Structure 1
Amino acid sequence: MSDGAMVVVEDVHRTFGEGDRAVHAVRGVSFTARAGELTALRGRSGSGKTTLLNLVGGLDTPSSGSISIAGTDLAGLDEAGRLELRRDRIGFVFQSFGLISVLTAAENVGVPMRLRKVAVKEREERVRTLLAMVGLAEHAEQRPTEMSGGQQQRVAVARALANEPALLIADEPTGQLDSDTGLAIMQLLRAVVRSEGVTALVATHDPQLMELADRVVELRDGRIVE
């Protein structure tokens, strides 16, 4: 990993379909996200933000170009390797929260650690630490249906940090929240980057939220706007 780069994207293209029906979602994108920084991806709906995040997160593969995470070239990984990378090195936060409704906040945060077979005592201690970090220590036994949207997203952030990822990917994490709650979530992400030393890529179209980022990468029609 050279020059403190956590994410290196080089001339990445992603095309869906062929011929006249081909959709060029990402067109020759190159950028670097440094370790310990929050990078905001800015752009209107359809600009390619989500596709780019899916590529960086190993949820999709580029049509051409290269992506590396912490010095690991994603093209060199098979599906099992990508799964391991997503489980151990990357945390995801989604616009729709993605919580399991039948589980409590504490149980939701603990799910990634269960998948890694983390010892019960260590898992429970980490869950308590994370819920306290996001301001929900007193809501550990509540289920998503008993929580506000902002509280649910805080649980989602805590869950994303469960396995101490190097990279946090958040796709419009404030999209379903009112402006004040959205700002609070973005401030939380900003604080998490500083306290945990994690690198964050956050897709957003809210100018107020972008002010909290270390840098902004703007996408338009699948290309970076200089």
Structure 2
Amino acid sequence: MFEEGEHRVSESSTRSATAVAEDPAGLPMVRVENLRRSYGTGEAAVHALRGVSFDIPRGELVALKGRSGSGKTTLLNLVGGLDSADGGSIVIDGVDLATLGENGLLELRRDRIGFIFQSFGLLPILSAAENVGVPMRLRKADPKEREERVALLLGLVGLADHANQRPGELSGGQQQRVAIARALANKPALLIADEPTGQLDQETGLAVMQLLRAVVRSEGCTALVATHDPQLLGLADRVLELSDGEIIEH
């Protein structure tokens, strides 16, 4: 999931990921046009995405559904700048990913996108607070600012009293809440989540999805969430379905 792939470097490879379009007002947070991605060659090639196009307005929580192998993770990897498309374009917050080189893509993922994993991805030797603070340490944020932001986010996800506990001392639902707080650490414009409730029971999964719904509103960010749970789909502003490598909007 979200594995690092090879990135295609364009002539504008030195462009900064924070160099947002001069006037992003009115532009969608995510614009995908005619996106194509295949694996393998010849008759054995698997066409994961076949000319996918869609927009996600700012401030929306959009759910992505589709059967296993439909290309959901491939699409999330491409939108998150973790893989390169064979064709088409992706624009995130006014920035065309094709204009970014390796450093620009790293900067984009660090500063503008928050990732939430099904497996939580927490560092077991760190406390909940320390896990949330990792992205801000990577940005060399001021220690006081970091501590205040960590406290605010743990409070937001209902874990203020668990700041000093390590992942192994937390339930699955609590660990996912820490992961959500960590994804929000650098105030991302976009949250990308691949089956974030896949390892949780139905009740806990619903609570986590409701939390995602709440943080999108409170933090003013946009979210693209892959899920197969009908209850969770009902909490989204919009549902996109992948079928045979093509998008169906409901």
In structure 2, the partner of 1:76 is: 99
Distance in 2 (CA, whole Å) between partners of 1:95 and 1:51 is 15
The residue that corresponds to 2:210 in the other structure is: 187
Root-mean-square deviation over aligned CA pairs: 0.8
1:216 aligns with 2:246: no
Q: Are the equivalent residues in 2 in contact too, given 1:46–1:221 (CA < 8 A)?
A: no
Query: Counterpart of 1:3 in 2: which secondary structure?
Result: coil
Secondary structure of 2:55 counterpart: strand
- Structure 1 position 4, deviation (Å): 3.8
TM-score under structure 2 length normalisation:
0.89
Query: Which structure 2 residues correspond to residues 18-167 of structure 1 after superposition, within 5 A?
Result: 18-167=41-190
Give the C-alpha shift of residue 2 in structure 1.
5.8
- What amino acid sits opposite 1:176 in the alignment? Q
SS of 1:11 mapped into structure 2: strand
Residue 157 of structure 2 aligns to which amino acid in structure 1? V
* TM-score, L = length of structure 1: 0.98
The answer to whether 1:205 aligns with 2:228 is yes
* Cα distance in structure 1, aligned partners of 2:200 and 2:116: 14
Determine if contact 2:73/2:194 at 8 Å carries over to the other structure.
Answer: yes
Would you say the 8 A contact 1:218–1:225 is kept in 2?
yes
Which residue matches 1:196? 219
**Aligned length, in residue pairs:** 226
Q: Distance in 2 between matches of 1:221 and 1:3?
A: 31
Distance 2:157 2:205 in 1: 14
% same residue: 73
Determine which structure has the larger helix proportion and give its number: 1
The DSSP-based 3-state class of the residue aligned with 1:181 is helix
CA distance in 1, matches of 2:27, 2:231: 27
- Aligned partners of 2:40 and 2:33: how far apart in 1? 22
